[in-house]
Structure 1
């Protein structure tokens, strides 16, 4: 078990997995079992990636499409966090608010983000608002749920002590509930970021005129498989980078709380 946790061993195994994947991909592409139009090899996809970095496709280069996607993601995700975290803390603190909001929330959170696409298209067309709404619908539930659970798990003695000292409600939430619930909140933000990024791609496939998802749709209509695969790789890489950043934040908060 100790060896399994060794970072060097994990890195070697991870690299071996990547080499195996790309090797198998190259072999299948070179074998002719699948036509090149439908499965280009890794080198062809890499060459297409380099080309898209400076050559326009479907109205923009790859960095420009990524910038559009990240702009939409940032708006939807930050809105989900700005609404979900405070509302979750308040629901965890006030039973009346919990009883009012929970039935509606429980009904809405089981609607898949992609199911909001027709509604978003009717309201916003292919503008900025449609994808933002879909991203919000994906990122909002984990933000609220984890803030709520974090608030509910706070030791009641801390709350009772603050109330005995006459602490105002807003200070109790900011200085007692929020710090104690922070690890749970950050975990929810991480989950919400993953779901929001996945929701963005689904939205751009249907209700967007720019972005990586839109680029992939245009490539699919022209049977430009290498461009589609470049889009998939870009989506995966950006998603990993977002998760790495949030994991680093989660670890930093955890370490700080342990030292405290």
Structure 2
């Protein structure tokens, strides 16, 4: 019987393998590029296949595009179970697929928006984690990177279900650390503040470019490449090092006083 691979060994193909959800744009595309640059083969999963094909054309055979909507839990499990043999032993999984919709108060929010955020940010992340953990535990190595947000810790007007979904991501990751104790599998949550240059705010504001522009006016936000570099850093640590949570904000963003209603 061959020895069980350790946390520092690459997959049987000789190259480390990462799965990135929501890989077609924004954080996901930047993370895919950065992981390829670090020597990974990347299973790039997203709904928009044409964008994944463009990533493959850009980055070559290191990218394996997979059409996937994480809201479909059966499809998530099928994709993980059906990976080619040389990609099946996942070393890193980045649960990045997610979105925010709307910035109005909760009492005026669309139920359809809430449902989509819950289905993507909560159920989609849970399905991804559930699908990949058994293999990682069996191999006694692997790293799950959960894409959270400072909105999961610090509430703000209009954050409601988006913030709640990211609080779920934070707590899920901490609970995974506890459950995975002794398995060699690592878990990290990356919680970003304001990031420009992605589709996040455009989707949140329904394509209203004036609101997108106003959000980042006269300040220097983070970029998707900053987040990709953070993913590269946490996943490059030695196997005995687990970075539990990284909270990263632009220098131009900080904290404000509590709201107080008077009168």
Structure with greater strand percent: 2
Query: What band does the TM-score fall into relative to the shorter chain?
Result: under 0.3
Q: TM-score, normalized by length of structure 2?
A: 0.25
Structure having the higher Rg: 1
Structure with greater helix percent: 1
Which structure ranks higher in relative contact order (CA pairs < 8 Å, sequence separation ≥ 6)?
Answer: 1
